[in-house]
Structures are given as C-alpha cells and as structure tokens.
Structure 1
Amino acid sequence: MPNDPPRGLGHAPVAVYSCATTSTALGESEERGRSYADARHWHVAGVWSDPDPALPLMERRSWQAVTAALSTGMIRGVVVSALTHVAADAAQFAALGVLLRDRGGFLADASNGTPTRRTPGQARRRRDIADAASGWFTQTGTCEEDGS
C-alpha cells in the first residue's frame, strides 16, 4: 500500500470513527465524517464508535477494530469529525497520523468542513421553503387577490 494519503478525490476505502458519550453526538459525528468522505469520493467501508472518551485510545474496542481493518487492508484511511475523538491536542493527532501513515494508511480530520456543493441560490431557496413550512411568507404580492 502507498504511504501517502490520497490528495483530493479518489475511491479510497475509509473508516469513519467517533468517540462521544451521547448517541446524538455520535450521530452528528458520523454524519460529518460521512459527508467529508463523500465529498472526496472516498468509500465508507465502515463506521465505528466508542462511548467513553476518557478511555485511552488504544484500549477502545472500536478503535482496535479500526486498526485491525487498516492492517488487513479493508480500509486505507480513518476519518474523524474532530481531532478530539482520537487525541488530546494537535501534536498527538499529528503523531497518530504518522503512526497510521507508517502502517500504509492516513488520518483525516473532518472538523474543517466539507466542500460545499450548493449554488448561491440554494441557501435562499431552502430558507424560503422553511419559512413557507412554518407559515411565514416573505414574498409579497405573489398571489393575486380575488376582486369579487
């Protein structure tokens, strides 16, 4: 396997990993990781999560499953929604990235956001739809009044 992470678009199989105490936070993390991977055309081969951030990373069951998947070649990279899911600070995150790179994989932080695929008019349209659904109509004069 190559030692360099794919730069940009490609069909690399990745794992989405998160660690949080609530199911809501885990769901949001998974969604962010999947979105980040999808924007780069990476195939999400699996999603793993652990419920205890206080537990050291190497002792977490799902993290062990992720590293096993990397070792077997099932995945080439790991996407996390925030570096705090796997490290205490940026230096630890960088060190973990080096460790994964030495094993033929890569580590990606999805907290910087994903490239937007929306056109400028879509945000306005979404706002208008939400306003209409809630009963607020921001456009005036679009309906003809009945003169009878």
Structure 2
Amino acid sequence: MPTNPPGGLGHVPVAVYSCATTSTTLGESEERSRCYADARHWHVAGIWSDPAPSLPLMERPGWQAVTAALSAGMIRGVVVGGLTHVAADAAQFAVLGALLRDRGGFLADASSGIRTRRTPGQARCRRDIADAASGWFTQTGTYEEDGS
C-alpha cells in the first residue's frame, strides 16, 4: 500500500465516484475527477457511478463497490467531482471524509480549484482586459490622441 500523504504527489490508487441523474453530468464529473487525480499523479484504479442521487449514499451500488475496494486495499482514496455527489453539505462531506480516514483512506473534492465555465462574452471581456493591461489595444479609434 502506498505511503504517500493524501495531499501529496505520487502513485496512489484512487477511485473516481459520481452520482447524477444525467449521463452528461456524470461524464463531466468523471473528467473533472480524472484531471484532479492526474494533476497529483494518482492512479485511477476504478470509476464508479450511480444514477440516483435521491438514494441514501450507503444504499447506492456504486458507492458500495467503492467502499469494498477501499476495504480490500485496491484503492487508497476516493475522488468526487463535487461534494454534492456524496453529501448534502460541507459538514456531511467532512464527516464522510473522517469515516474514510478511519478506514485508512481519504476523500477528495475535485471541484475545489477548478475554473468555472465562462460564456463567450466573459472570455472576450477577460481577453480585452488582458490586452489592455499589456498595452495591446485591438480597438482602434477608441483612444483620442491629445492634440497638444
């Protein structure tokens, strides 16, 4: 079993878990979680998901498979695309994290530090601000020259 700390870098086998009603949301969560794990050089040993967020966590087949993999030593941690996949709020997420730590694992929320999606207008505005800050003006005639 790897001895790397939960926040550290290194070869740590993890599971990716998500729970959502649509395949699009499941796919986005999986991608976010994989990127999070890859950035830490963690090995994604398995991906599990459940389609019914209304079902209690401990009754979900995908979550049961994740906890079985943790108990068997196949994984060291669980990465979720957002805390809402496993908990209703931050307090419940912390309790679940403590429970997994007691079993020798860890729980990571991949949504922290992830850029939010931006609309094309927001991206253009950011680009214009960056261009202006660098002295590169794309809009000619906007600035009047002082005739003095």
Which position in structure 1 is the counterpart of 2:74? 74
Check if 1:112 corresponds to 2:117: no
Q: CA deviation at 1:20?
A: 0.2
Q: CA deviation at 1:59?
A: 0.2
Cα-to-partner distance string for 1:124-144 (whole Å, 9 max, x where unaligned) = xxx9xxxxxxxxxx9xxxxxx
Q: CA deviation at 1:112?
A: 1.0
If the length of structure 2 is used for normalisation, what is the TM-score?
A: 0.74
CA distance, structure 1, for counterparts of residue 5 and residue 94 of structure 2: 14
| Runs of 5+ unmatched residues, structure 2 | 116-126, 128-137, 139-148
CA distance, structure 2, for counterparts of residue 35 and residue 26 of structure 1: 14
Distance 1:90 1:4, change over 3 A: farther
Q: CA deviation at 1:10?
A: 1.2
Q: CA deviation at 1:113?
A: 3.0
Opposite residue 70 of structure 1, the aligned amino acid is L
Q: Which moved more, 1:82-91 or 1:105-114?
A: 105-114
| Runs of 5+ unmatched residues, structure 1 | 116-126, 128-137, 139-148
Cα-to-partner distance string for 1:71-122 (whole Å, 9 max, x where unaligned) = 000000000010000000100000000000000000000011359xxxxxxx
SS, match of residue 111 in structure 1: coil
Q: Would you say the 8 A contact 1:36–1:113 is kept in 2?
A: no
Q: Would you say the 8 A contact 2:2–2:12 is kept in 1?
A: no
Q: Would you say the 8 A contact 1:4–1:101 is kept in 2?
A: no
CA distance, structure 2, for counterparts of residue 54 and residue 5 of structure 1: 33
Q: 1:1-148 counterparts in 2 under 5 A?
A: 5-113=5-113
Cα-to-partner distance string for 1:37-95 (whole Å, 9 max, x where unaligned) = 00000000000000000000000000000000000000000000100000001000000
SS, match of residue 108 in structure 2: strand
Opposite residue 80 of structure 1, the aligned amino acid is V
If the length of structure 1 is used for normalisation, what is the TM-score?
A: 0.74
Q: Would you say the 8 A contact 1:9–1:40 is kept in 2?
A: yes
